[in-house]
Structure 1
Amino acid sequence: MSEKATPTPDAGRRSDRSRRAIYEAALALVSETGYAKLTIEAIAARAGVGKQTIYRWWPSKGDVVLEAFLDLAQRSAVSPEDDPGAAAFPDSGDLAADLKLVLQATVDELNEPAYADPARALSAEGILNPQLGARFLEHVLAPGLRLYGTRLTAARERGEIRPETDVAIATDLLVAPLTYRWLMGTGPLDHAYADALVDHVLTGLRGA
């Protein structure tokens, strides 16, 4: 009678479990201790892996947090590839209503600590680390900005805003104040602010 074969360990599954544990540890620690106090050693200890495992996969703690953040967004079905609130950017024919809906959804996400803490950390780290900042822009910010641009371009072609409107600048006018208030805490970040922002920007874009 032959002996029963011993199952071969699944290295890929083990790696997936370790990677998932590292993601969860990094995001939890960013919220608990802040990015400045975050260390690879702390992530490794929380995840139950050796720190060399982390260094083998990522060159810095910023890279760990960025990848964990992208994974979180994908699993929560609000992909940063599609921008908060803009995964299906509405085009109802009412530009003001569409923009308010998107900005309100963005406000809700920015007020959610699970999203906001790592996003704020990555925004700040991206200034000090240009390579990380470029990846954050490419994977988190740029896709959503393009969706704003597409919607505003359609509005310009329909005559909803002035024909000479620079779509890139118009996008900045909508997104930048929201981001500034979120980063700096200069006032309440709520639906009322999002609605007022849209109204003020469209007053200028529509003209007389």
Structure 2
Amino acid sequence: MAHTSDQPPQKPAPDSSRRSEKSRRAIYDAALALVTEVGYPKTTIEGIAARAGVGKQTIYRWWSSKADVLLEAFIDLSAQAAEAAARPEVIGEGAEYEIPDTGDLEADLKLVLRSTVDELLDPTFEAPSRALAAEGVVNEQVGREFVGKLLEPQLQLYVKRLRAAQEQGAVRADIDPRIALELFVSPLAQRWLQYTGPITYEYTDKLVEYALYGLAPRGPAAR
């Protein structure tokens, strides 16, 4: 007869990394939901912790302030949106998201700005984005981190694409790409933030055309 132990079978040790990732994801979701519902000023670490079902100290172990939590959550949200919008046939499966380079600058810029329109009009993205952008106007630290951690890395994608266009001869060599990108990015941001007009594909297509070709007559009319 086989010997049987009175000891209960040992359960496998909990996977702390899996538990941490689950908690981190819950905190992201809670932070984005709260800033959407009550705005940035009324969002607190305590509220995020309660909503996420974690202890306040868990949040403070990973982040020093609610601004850090919200910015990281928003960056993660933006990264997911960029990954969902990326076309594997253009940038490669699993590749880091970049503005496509098909050799046609106009088409590539129109494509990425249309994806931006989709993102700006997505309620999941729009509410926390507006809350953080508005807070950044009155809170210098939040504004600086919002620009440095989220906006500037995205703008550098445009810089890289415009520099490639310069190398291909599609953009003048003396153009500063960092200034040039503002011709189509800044009007879109202003219209979105101030509700001065509809955000549409047609609008962003026109921004690209005006930025690339200017306002002077073209073709026979130019003569």
TM-score, shorter chain, exceeding 0.5: yes
> 1:93-138: per-residue Cα shift (whole Å, max 9, x none)?
3222221111111111111121222222232333444444444333
Please say if 1:42 is aligned against 2:52.
no
Cα 1:157–1:64, aligned 2, differ >3 Å: closer, same or farther?
same
Alignment correspondent of 2:205: 195
Q: Secondary structure at the match of 1:96?
A: helix
User: Once the 2 structures are TM-superposed, how far is the Cα of residue 66 of structure 1 from its aligned partner?
Assistant: 1.2
Return the letter of the residue paired with 1:173: L
- Which protein, 1 or 2, shows the higher relative CO under an 8 Å CA cutoff with sep ≥ 6? 1
Between the aligned partners of 1:174 and 1:196, the Cα distance in structure 2 is: 9
- For the pair shown, the structure with the greater C-alpha radius of gyration is 2
CA contact (8 A) 2:136 2:143 kept: yes
CA RMSD of aligned residues (A): 2.7
Q: Distance in 1 between matches of 2:14 and 2:171?
A: 61
Deviates most, 126-135 or 25-34: 126-135
Q: CA deviation at 1:52?
A: 3.0
Q: Normalising to structure 1: TM-score of the pair?
A: 0.82
- Structure 2 counterpart of 1:62, one-letter code: A
Which stretch shifts more, 198-207 or 22-31? Answer: 198-207
Percent same amino acid at aligned positions? 56
Segments of structure 2 that go 5 or more residues without pairing to the other structure are: 85-95
* 1:199 Cα offset (Å): 1.4
TM-score (ref. length: structure 2): 0.77
Say if 1:48 and 1:116 are closer, same or farther in 2 by CA, change over 3 A. Answer: same
Q: Within 2, Cα distance between the matches of 1:87 and 1:8?
A: 37
Contact preservation (8 Å) 2:165, 2:171: yes
Q: Residues of 2 paired with 1:190 and 1:18: CA distance? A: 37
Aligned to 1:82: none
Match status 1:59 vs 2:64: yes
Paired residues for 1:50-199 under 5 Å: 50-76=55-81, 78=83, 87-199=97-209
Counterpart amino acid of 2:160?
T
5+ residue gaps in structure 1? 80-85
Aligned residues: 202
